[in-house]
């Protein structure tokens, strides 16, 4: 799903959107006036996407509620602009305002057809069956209608949300329309960032309708917000410049503990991305047998040789590590079955846990272990690791946003759930979502790159790390930069060409590109 700008910084539930709209209406905005405003903007976008000379025939699916009313106003406006419009109304009972627009459409001579072969001959379909707030499964004749639409090759434009999706969880309620374009109205709904909904959304765009800030704040201030990561958030934390008199120990010291004979490349990817973060001093602890190889690849790092287990993993850390010089630790990529994880969880330093460190944590009393830590802890699981860590919570009503947010708050950690839309939650109850990424990152080793990058940024901001909100934003910055590098590389080459090694190289290029943008 491509996220076109501009986009709103907040993400709302169906209940929050209903409350915002109710507040707007209670202060005098006529429902009919807002419907006209929204529909005019949708019509303008449709004209841009489907210009009349190439796409003269439009089919409009009219639902019983105000989503159907929006669709009817769009139908009227397309008709006035020269499109050949046919409408299909599968539900006979309409809300009063929607019924008024249906009568006027009939007065204008717009045709209502029941034969699917008639309206499937259109150049595009406008889906106005159900908007946000749907809770009942789509079944019977409506489910058959959705199946016919999805089996056709006619592109679909969905108003607000593809019909059949749950607004909050993104779950498919029986069945759902697979849209080519989804025009989200007012504020982003949660479904647009839920994995279950992504195959149905197509290209998503926000159609704002000028919600007053005071009405938005009155509702959203009642709980911790869900927000989208934006360039304005991350710019203050990206490593643009350094003070003129800076020296290496003033710009962060990071200890990476990673790699094994089975997974040597993880150490290299993690270390190279940490370098790209701009960290001043980089210490890399690896098994003894990997030391010379890592030194040859990253001569700038201080490579610490560690005794090995029989399987080639780190058996223990040397006793002469100068912990007072370390600002942050990143632990886990390629670690294998190393027994050192419990001891490092007890170290009073900011800590990023990934990969094998998370798998080992899952074998421990997770809640007690994490709550016992006094320094900031960042967990970066993908979906499988998340289920191993939190098996009961992972399937809670399919609502991962609330699940991630609650866990981060309860355990006093920053929890980064990696996926197509990565969620970042902190102890303060806030949740950040990375809105733009690329499937080019679906490669083994991409997570190792993120771990090094996140550790490097964390080490460069040791003092603000005392603030849980600041730590959450640091994690969000790393996620955003990592994804932007993936998008930049995919655009320059191709999605299939973006190896983790290329991703590391692109971190620096993408940062320069972003600075010039």
CA distance 456 to 159: 43
Could you identify the residue written with the tokens 């970066």? 380
Q: Does the annotation place 472 within a ligand binding site?
A: no
- The verdict on whether residue 144 carries a ligand-binding annotation is no
Binding site annotation covers 247?
no
Q: How far apart are CA 485 and CA 467, in angstroms?
A: 27
Binding site annotation covers 246? no
Q: Is 137 annotated as a binding residue?
A: yes
- 334 is known to lie in a ligand binding site: yes
342 is in an annotated binding site: no
Q: Is 252 annotated as a binding residue?
A: no
Q: Determine the Cα–Cα distance for residues 336 and 338; give it in Å rounded to an integer.
A: 6
Q: DSSP letter string over 462-510?
A: TTGGGSHHHHHHHHHHHHHHHHHHHHHHHHHS-GGG--HHHHHHHHHHH
The answer to whether the annotation marks 509 as part of a ligand binding site is no
State both tokens at 56.
Answer: 């003269």
DSSP letter, residue 6? P
Q: Do the Cβ atoms of 404 and 388 come closer than 8 Å?
A: no
The span from the CA of 374 to the CA of 319, in Å, is 22
Q: Flag whether 422 is marked binding.
A: yes
Q: Cβ(390)–Cβ(370) under 8 Å?
A: no
- SS3 for 400-437 is HHHHHHHHHHHHCCEEEECCCCCEEECCCCCEEECCCC
The dihedrals phi and psi of 153, each to the nearest 5 degrees, come to: -100, 10
d(C-alpha 45, C-alpha 51), whole Å: 10
69 known ligand binder: yes
Adjacent-strand bridge partners of 306? 287
Tell whether residue 67 is among the known ligand binding residues.
yes
Residue 401 — φ and ψ, nearest 5°? Answer: -60, -55
H/E run at residue 273: helix 264-276
387 annotated ligand binder:
no
Q: Is 174 annotated as a binding residue?
A: no
Question: Per the structure block, which two tokens stand in for 469?
Answer: 């909100």
- Give the span between the Cα atoms of 288 and 307, in whole angstroms: 6
Is 127 labeled as ligand-binding?
yes
Q: Using CA atoms, how far apart are residues 63 and 45, in angstroms rounded to an integer? A: 21
| 132 in a labelled binding site | yes
Q: Is 421 flagged in the annotation as binding?
A: yes
Q: Confirm if 272 and 246 have CB atoms less than 8 A apart.
A: no
Strand 423-425, strand 414-417: pairing = antiparallel
Q: Is 189 annotated as a binding residue?
A: no
Residue 397 CB coordination number (10 Å):
10
Q: Is 390 annotated as a binding residue?
A: no
448 assigned to a ligand binding site: yes
Is 419 assigned to a binding site?
yes
With residue 85 as reference, give the H or E element that holds it: strand 84-88
| β pairing state of 431-433 and 423-425 | antiparallel
CA-CA distance, 2 to 206, in Å (whole number)?
11
Check whether 131 is labelled as a binding-site residue: yes
Region of residue 28 (left: phi > 0; alpha: psi -120 to 50; beta: else): left
Task: Write the Ramachandran bin of 192: left for phi over 0, alpha for psi from -120 to 50, otherwise beta.
Answer: alpha
Known binding positions: 66-70, 127, 131-137, 160, 163, 266, 334, 382, 418-422, 447-448
Known binding positions for K(+): 67, 127, 163
Known binding positions for (6S)-NADPHX: 66-70, 131-137, 160, 266, 334, 382, 448
Known binding positions for AMP: 418-422, 447
């Amino acid at each position: 799903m491509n996220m076109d700008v501009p986009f709103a910084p907040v993400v709302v539930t169906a209940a929050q959107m209903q409350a915002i709209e109710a507040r707007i209406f209670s202060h005098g905005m006529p429902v009919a006036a807002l419907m006209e405003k929204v529909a005019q903007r949708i019509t303008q976008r449709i004209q841009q996407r489907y210009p009349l000379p190439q796409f003269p025939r439009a089919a409009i699916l009219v639902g019983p509620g105000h989503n159907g009313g929006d669709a009817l106003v769009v139908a009227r406006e397309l008709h006035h602009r020269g499109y050949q419009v046919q409408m299909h109304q599968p539900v006979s009972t309409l809300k009063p305002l929607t019924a008024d627009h249906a009568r006027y459409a009939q007065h204008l001579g717009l045709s209502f057809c029941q034969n699917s072969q008639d309206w499937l001959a259109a150049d595009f379909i406008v889906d106005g069956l159900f908007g946000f707030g749907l809770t009942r499964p789509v079944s019977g004749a409506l489910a058959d209608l959705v199946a016919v639409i999805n089996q056709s090759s006619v592109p679909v434009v969905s108003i607000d949300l593809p019909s059949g999706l749950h607004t909050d969880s993104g779950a498919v309620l029986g069945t759902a329309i697979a849209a080519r374009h989804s025009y989200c109205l007012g504020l982003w709904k949660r479904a647009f960032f839920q994995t279950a909904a992504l195959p149905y959304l197509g290209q998503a765009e926000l159609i704002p309708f000028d919600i007053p800030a005071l009405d938005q704040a009155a509702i959203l201030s009642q709980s911790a917000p869900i927000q989208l990561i934006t360039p304005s958030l991350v710019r203050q934390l990206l490593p643009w410049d350094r003070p003129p008199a800076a020296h290496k120990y003033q710009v962060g010291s990071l200890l990476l503990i990673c790699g094994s004979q089975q997974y040597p490349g993880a150490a290299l990817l993690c270390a190279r991305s940490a370098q790209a973060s701009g960290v001043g001093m980089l210490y890399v602890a690896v098994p003894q047998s990997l030391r010379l190889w890592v030194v040859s690849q990253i001569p700038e790092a201080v490579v610490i040789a560690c005794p090995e287990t029989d399987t080639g993993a780190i058996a223990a850390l040397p006793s002469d590590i100068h912990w007072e010089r370390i600002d942050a630790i990143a632990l886990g990529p390629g670690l294998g079955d190393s027994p050192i994880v419990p001891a490092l969880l007890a170290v009073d330093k900011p800590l990023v846990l990934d990969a094998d460190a998370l798998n080992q944590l899952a074998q421990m009393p997770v809640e007690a272990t994490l709550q016992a830590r006094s320094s900031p802890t960042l967990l970066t699981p993908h979906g499988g690791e998340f289920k191993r860590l939190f098996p009961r919570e992972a399937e809670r009503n399919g609502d991962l946003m609330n699940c991630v947010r609650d866990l981060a708050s309860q355990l006093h950690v920053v929890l980064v759930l990696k996926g197509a839309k990565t969620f970042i939650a902190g102890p303060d109850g806030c949740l950040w979502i990375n809105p733009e990424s690329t499937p080019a990152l679906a490669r083994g080793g991409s997570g190792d790159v993120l771990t090094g990058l996140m550790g490097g940024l964390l080490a460069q901001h040791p003092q603000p790390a005392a603030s849980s909100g600041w730590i959450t934003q640091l994690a969000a910055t790393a996620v955003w930069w990592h994804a932007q590098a993936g998008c930049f590389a995919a655009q320059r080459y191709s999605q299939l060409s973006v190896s983790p090694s290329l991703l590391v190289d692109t971190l620096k290029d993408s940062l320069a590109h972003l600075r010039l943008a």
